[in-house]
Chains A and B, each alone.
Chain A
Amino acid sequence: SAVISQKPSRDICQRGTSLTIQCQVDSQVTMMFWYRQQPGQSLTLIATANQGSEATYESGFVIDKFPISRPNLTFSTLTVSNMSPEDSSIYLCSSLGTGHEQYFGPGTRLTVT
């Protein structure tokens, strides 16, 4: 199984600012994903990050708000732009394993004040 790390683990940010979350996988993977988990809720897929191409966003999520980079097969970043208190959530990245399973990072807990 892949081991995934995320930085930062948590942050408190002011509204109107942006935060970039980093996701590092310990092996090369084809597909990485970004999820949002709002307080007390389940996980919602934000986008699929493919190496060498633009991310694919789910309905309700746009590139201007959540730009994603995927410079190589082990790393991805998610930026939460122009934050508002409604963006307060846990953001998780995952990687696709060889057997369709996904492995998740520990998450980044974001609080927007």
Chain B
Amino acid sequence: AQSVTQPDIHITVSEGASLELRCNYSYGATPYLFWYVQSPGQGLQLLLKYFSGDTLVQGIKGFEAEFKRSQSSFNLRKPSVHWSDAAEYFCAVESAAGNKLTFGGGTRVLVKP
């Protein structure tokens, strides 16, 4: 069965600093990978997705992610964080059977002024 690990439960960054969130997955084939963001009291918003092709994918809100097959990783990055980026971020992988998503445990990002 596939699994997703987000090693960092909390990350605190200063506004304007760069951000990198780690995601490792366990999956037998080439996965469909996603990053979602959940702001306080909100549902989940899709930031970006990877299916195939270019391993560096661009998303909304200035985020990008890089797929590294050799490391089974799909890390999310942003060069300069804004206070509005404070939220919880979830990495997810789609199962080949039934389009089901398996989510990582999430990383909560705090932004210091």
Contacts and interface: CB of A to CB of B under 8 A. Distances in A.
Interface string A83-113: 0000000001010100111111111000000
Contact of B43 (A42, A58, A101, A105): A105
A58 B101 CA distance: 12
Contacts of B43: 4, 92, 104-107
Nearest to B91: A42
A45 B100 contact: yes
Contact of A104 (B32, B44, B51, B99): B44
Given A42-B90, A100-B94, 9 more contacts: A41-B105, A42-B105, A43-B103, A48-B98, A48-B99, A56-B98, A100-B99, A102-B34, A102-B46
Interface residues of B, number: 21
B74 to A, nearest CB: 14
Interface of B: 32, 34, 36, 42-46, 49, 51, 90, 94, 98-106
Contact of A101 (B42, B46, B104): B46
Contact of A42 (B51, B98, B104): B104
Contacts of A48: 98-100
A100 B49 contact: yes
Contact of B101 (A41, A45, A105): A45
B46 A103 contact: yes
A100 B32 contact: yes
A73 interface: no
Contacts of A75: none
B98 to A, nearest CB: 6
A42 B103 contact: yes
A31 interface: yes
A31 B99 contact: yes
Contacts of B99: 31, 48, 96, 100, 102
